A and B are shown apart, each in its own frame.
Chain A
Amino acid sequence: MKRVKKWAAAITVFITGFIFLIPFYIMFYLSLSSPGDSIAEEWFPRALMVQNFREAWEKASMGRAMVNSLVITVGAVLLLVFCAACGGYGAARVKNKINRMIFYIMVLSMMVPGIINTVPLYIMMRRINGINTYWGMIMLLACQSLPFSVFLYESFIRTMNSSLEEAAIMDGCTRFEAFWRIVFPLLKPITATVVIMQGVGIWNNYAQSVFFLQNQNYHTIPLAISTFFRPMELIIICLPPGRQLVLRLLQWFF
């Protein structure tokens, strides 16, 4: 009986792993296959077409897109961490009415999906010349991830002991210095969570960038791939699917 159970568990684990990995294998296969290959006939590409990668990279100007994505993601994450950590600290430690109100409005706003604001935001961005710019996109994406991050920081700081900062303030630090020099380094675990979680979201963002980065020169990776993929039927007929898939593989690696 025990043995049967053990085997059943092992098989379940194996099948689950298989279900989650097989699409990645298909991606790997298609990205390296030549036009005539079919996964139905051979389980491994006959010739490894590494040049697919180079071609796709050039066709979709991935170099440019990579730089754009990097600039926007790094910028937005830095801004986000600074604002959210300060905000979370303010909400947790400086308990006046205004801070509480701002905090509750932010928590409530987590229920509002980003797309709702898009049209008025677009109009505002056009007025302040923020469309097709790095800074516009950075501020926008940082703001979008702000409420959740502030919430995380706030709940973490609230559980921390405040005696360290109080001692620092006693010794003549300002509140901000006490926060920046003493509390912020202690927040590393939360900062890591925010950077990873929100960073991935910002890197992958499509719903906002499709509105605010229409200029090809500012296309991020998701946008570059989607414009490459859009005339879908045509490309699928004209090119082996491998070349499009390479792009996806690229994004997965970086």
Chain B
Amino acid sequence: MMAPAAVLFLVFFVLPLCQGVGISMTDWNGFSEEKNFVGFANFIRFFSDKRALHAIQVTVVFGLVSPFLLNVSGLFLALLVDSKRKSRVLLRMIIYLPSIISPLIMGYLWTLILSPRTGVLDQILQRFNPSLSFDWMGVPDKALWLIIMVNVWQFTGGPMMVYLAGLQSIPKDLYESAKIDGAGRMQAFKNITWPLLYPSAKINIFNNIIGSMAVFDIIMAITMGGPGYATESLSIYIYRQSFNGFAGYATAIALIMFLIIAVPIGITMRWMKNKEIEM
């Protein structure tokens, strides 16, 4: 019964991964017949490649800040819409709406809003005061934060839904008994809601870290890694290197990227394991 799944998985995942380890130790350019074994040279080269190290920095900042913000806003919004009232149910749908649209499309939409001079935001600002202008996209330090904000705006609906499901599975009588025992709302949240949301938080943190560390579309749409290569993530760097005739090097970076993702995932897994609560 496992056969169709196993075959598909083997051919399109396991085999390429194994092959990748081999390719990462060659200087192959991806097109020619020539392929020389270079050992760990690609990995050594990586750590003296300034652009690659910068890409790590971008990936790590994006990959940690954005899950954090996604979870904070997701939890806040879940608490806000956790009600049967029609307005809240409608709000749920509105918040979830951007998540189902391609990040590429949303990225383009936001460029039209945020870009300097021609952007909608800039035009509105200038109407109020001509000296005001909004040019975060062109400033290396700020562009990444802009992308993070757009990303959180777009994808916060997912974590919200997971937290909402978690919230709705908490038995209501727990709150009643807490109230009888004299607990305030903050105390009830801290001692009942939050601990019982750990499983939801675990799923969210996992998904968001994996998704954010591999970020590709939204950066491509908003800045294409620019200005310069200020917002170039590892995924984009891999994409560029593999098209520029450095297939071996690109594969080596991909393997390093996996290790970089494994570290925060491992830490959260460890941290979460001790906090699991039995109902």
Q: For A245, what are the chain B residues with a Cβ–Cβ distance below 8 Å?
A: 108-109, 112
Given A116-B20, A117-B17, A229-B108, A13–B88 Cβ distance below 8 Å?
yes
Q: For A112, what are the chain B residues with a Cβ–Cβ distance below 8 Å?
A: 17, 258
Whose C-beta in chain A lies nearest to the C-beta of B123?
A: A40
Find out whether the CB atom of B5 lies under 8 angstroms from the CB atom of A86. Answer: yes
Find out whether the CB atom of B126 lies under 8 angstroms from the CB atom of A40. Answer: yes
Find out whether the CB atom of A226 lies under 8 angstroms from the CB atom of B1. Answer: no
User: At the interface, yes or no: A104 with Cβ under 8 Å from chain B?
Assistant: no
Give B203 Cβ to nearest chain A Cβ, in Å. 11
User: At the interface, yes or no: A248 with Cβ under 8 Å from chain B?
Assistant: yes
User: At the interface, yes or no: A36 with Cβ under 8 Å from chain B?
Assistant: no
Contact with A along B195-220 (1 / 0, CB 8 A): 00000000000000011011011001
Find out whether the CB atom of B16 lies under 8 angstroms from the CB atom of A113. Answer: no
User: At the interface, yes or no: B277 with Cβ under 8 Å from chain A?
Assistant: no
Give A221 Cβ to nearest chain B Cβ, in Å. 8
User: Looking at the complex, which one of A13, A139, A144 makes contact with B87 (CB distance below 8 Å)?
Assistant: A13
Find out whether the CB atom of B5 lies under 8 angstroms from the CB atom of A39. Answer: no
Find out whether the CB atom of A146 lies under 8 angstroms from the CB atom of B124. Answer: no
Q: For A17, what are the chain B residues with a Cβ–Cβ distance below 8 Å?
A: 90-91, 94
The complex places the Cα of A245 from the Cα of B12 at a distance, in Å, of 35
User: At the interface, yes or no: B61 with Cβ under 8 Å from chain A?
Assistant: no
Contact with B along A171-201 (1 / 0, CB 8 A): 0000110010000000000000000000010
Find out whether the CB atom of A248 lies under 8 angstroms from the CB atom of B220. Answer: no
User: At the interface, yes or no: A16 with Cβ under 8 Å from chain B?
Assistant: yes
Q: Which of A65-121 contact B (CB under 8 A)?
A: 79, 82-84, 86-87, 89-91, 93-94, 98-99, 102-103, 105-106, 109-121
Q: For B88, what are the chain A residues with a Cβ–Cβ distance below 8 Å?
A: 13
Find out whether the CB atom of A38 lies under 8 angstroms from the CB atom of B104. Answer: no
User: At the interface, yes or no: B146 with Cβ under 8 Å from chain A?
Assistant: no
Q: For A119, what are the chain B residues with a Cβ–Cβ distance below 8 Å?
A: 20, 23, 30, 238, 242, 247, 250-251, 254
Given A16-B91, A117-B16, A176–B216 Cβ distance below 8 Å?
no
Q: For B5, what are the chain A residues with a Cβ–Cβ distance below 8 Å?
A: 83-84, 86-87, 90, 102, 106, 146, 150
Q: For B216, what are the chain A residues with a Cβ–Cβ distance below 8 Å?
A: 115, 206-207
Contact with A along B174-204 (1 / 0, CB 8 A): 0000000000000000000000000000000
Find out whether the CB atom of A176 lies under 8 angstroms from the CB atom of B109. Answer: no
User: At the interface, yes or no: B110 with Cβ under 8 Å from chain A?
Assistant: yes
Find out whether the CB atom of B251 lies under 8 angstroms from the CB atom of A16. Answer: no
User: At the interface, yes or no: B261 with Cβ under 8 Å from chain A?
Assistant: yes
How many residues belonging to B are interface residues under a CB distance threshold of 8 Å?
A: 72
* Residue among A21, A144, A206 with most chain B CB within 10 A: A206
User: Looking at the complex, which one of A210, A222, A236 makes contact with B118 (CB distance below 8 Å)?
Assistant: A236
Q: Which of B100-143 contact A (CB under 8 A)?
A: 100-106, 108-113, 115, 118, 120, 123-124, 126-127
User: At the interface, yes or no: A61 with Cβ under 8 Å from chain B?
Assistant: no
Whose C-beta in chain B lies nearest to the C-beta of A29?
A: B120
The complex places the Cα of A26 from the Cα of B87 at a distance, in Å, of 23
Whose C-beta in chain A lies nearest to the C-beta of B242?
A: A119
Q: For A179, what are the chain B residues with a Cβ–Cβ distance below 8 Å?
A: 1
Find out whether the CB atom of A20 lies under 8 angstroms from the CB atom of B254. Answer: no
Find out whether the CB atom of B261 lies under 8 angstroms from the CB atom of A113. Answer: yes
The complex places the Cα of A122 from the Cα of B248 at a distance, in Å, of 13
User: Looking at the complex, which one of A10, A86, A144, A211 makes contact with B1 (CB distance below 8 Å)?
Assistant: A86
Give A62 Cβ to nearest chain B Cβ, in Å. 13
* Residue among A24, A103, A111, A139 with most chain B CB within 10 A: A111
Find out whether the CB atom of B123 lies under 8 angstroms from the CB atom of A114. Answer: no
User: At the interface, yes or no: B257 with Cβ under 8 Å from chain A?
Assistant: yes
Give B253 Cβ to nearest chain A Cβ, in Å. 9
Q: Which of A129-152 contact B (CB under 8 A)?
A: 139-140, 142-144, 146-147, 150
Find out whether the CB atom of B19 lies under 8 angstroms from the CB atom of A99. Answer: no
User: Looking at the complex, which one of A12, A41, A93, A121 makes contact with B16 (CB distance below 8 Å)?
Assistant: A121
User: Looking at the complex, which one of A84, A99, A116, A225 makes contact with B255 (CB distance below 8 Å)?
Assistant: A116
Given contacts A99-B1, A206-B216, A226-B104, 18 further A-B contacts (CB under 8 A): A40-B127, A86-B4, A87-B6, A94-B2, A98-B2, A113-B211, A113-B213, A115-B254, A115-B257, A116-B17, A119-B238, A119-B254, A120-B17, A121-B16, A143-B12, A146-B5, A207-B235, A225-B108
What 9 pairs between A and B have smallest CB-CB spacing? A87-B5, A90-B1, A113-B214, A204-B102, A143-B12, A90-B2, A120-B16, A120-B20, A40-B123
